[in-house]
């Protein structure tokens, strides 16, 4: 059973990180169910384990946190739906690549509820949308913008951190970093694409599509963490 929780208000990053650490430990010990937490943070930047200092272009703009997850610099803030995903891969298959693909597929399925075509690229993390309304790249290829980010960490095969979907954030806040180290493409949001979508709409889409990707666990799926 997966516990879903909506956190009210703007949740301080330290609060969410400490709560995730505690929950992951309890899941690993068999004392708590898997969980998905939906929340917003105040404006901040997080640095993943591959973050390059040169990609933090405005270090004094917002607080910067070392996240401990994979990836590079990411922005979180109001109008962005963060979903922290704490699933037990001991019971779902110890396959990191498959898990990341599942997160990508989940985001794409949720975006499809709003008739948005999300896509992944082998050389870029996250989920992207093609922007035919913008000038093409120098090589003539269509411009693409990132609409969702993915960053995870595993401890004893329990996942934490997760995904972030841009619903209606202030896109200028991304200017203080090179998002995920990618300079040649931009970022977008559902509202930037002209869609009157709310955080609550996205929450519903995430919940409705979750089990299309992540099959509910059965008691016989249990496997002890090592």
Per-residue model confidence as pLDDT tens digits over 85-98: 999 999 999 999 99
Q: Does the CA dihedral 53-56-57-58 come out positive or negative?
A: negative
User: SS3 of 66, please?
Assistant: strand
| Binding residue numbers for substrate | 69-76, 149-151, 162-164
Q: How many helices (H) and strands (E) does the chain have?
A: 4, 11
Q: Which of 158, 180, 187, 205 is catalytic?
A: 180
**Residue 226 pLDDT:** 43
Predicted pLDDT at 221: 58
Tokens (6 digits) for 11: 């949740």
In 3-state terms, what secondary structure has residue 176? helix
Annotated binding site: which residue ranges?
69-76, 149-151, 162-164
Q: pLDDT for 142-199, tens place per residue? A: 999 999 999 999 999 999 999 999 999 999 999 999 876 667 788 999 999 999 999 9
How far apart are the C-alpha atoms of 104 and 119, rounded to whole Å?
8
- pLDDT for 23-39, tens place per residue? 999 999 999 999 999 99
Contact criterion met (CB below 8 Å) for 51 and 59: no
pTM: 0.93
Output the average pLDDT for the chain.
Answer: 93
Residues 151 and 69 sit within 8 Å (Cβ to Cβ): yes
Contact 209, 110 (CB under 8 A): yes
Whether 180 is catalytic is yes
């Amino acid at each position: 059973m997966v516990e879903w929780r909506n956190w009210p208000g703007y949740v301080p990053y330290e609060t969410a990180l400490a709560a995730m650490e505690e929950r992951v430990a309890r899941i690993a010990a068999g004392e708590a169910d898997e969980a998905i937490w939906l929340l917003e943070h105040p404006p901040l930047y997080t640095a993943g384990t591959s973050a390059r200092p040169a990609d933090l272009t405005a270090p004094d703009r917002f607080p910067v946190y070392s996240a401990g997850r994979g990836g590079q610099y990411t922005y979180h803030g109001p109008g962005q739906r963060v979903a922290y995903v704490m699933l037990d891969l001991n019971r779902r298959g110890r396959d990191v690549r498959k898990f990341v693909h599942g997160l990508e597929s989940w985001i794409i399925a949720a975006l499809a509820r709003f008739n948005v075509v999300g896509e992944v690229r082998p050389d870029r993390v996250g989920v992207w949308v093609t922007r035919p309304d913008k000038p093409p790249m120098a090589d003539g290829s269509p411009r693409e913008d990132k609409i969702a980010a993915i960053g995870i960490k595993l401890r004893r095969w329990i996942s934490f951190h997760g995904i972030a979907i841009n619903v209606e954030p202030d896109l200028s806040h991304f200017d203080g970093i090179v998002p995920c180290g990618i300079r040649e493409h931009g970022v977008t949001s559902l509202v930037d694409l002209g869609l009157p979508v709310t955080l609550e709409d996205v929450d519903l889409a995430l919940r409705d599509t979750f089990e299309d990707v992540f099959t509910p666990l059965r008691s016989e799926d249990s496997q002890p963490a090592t």
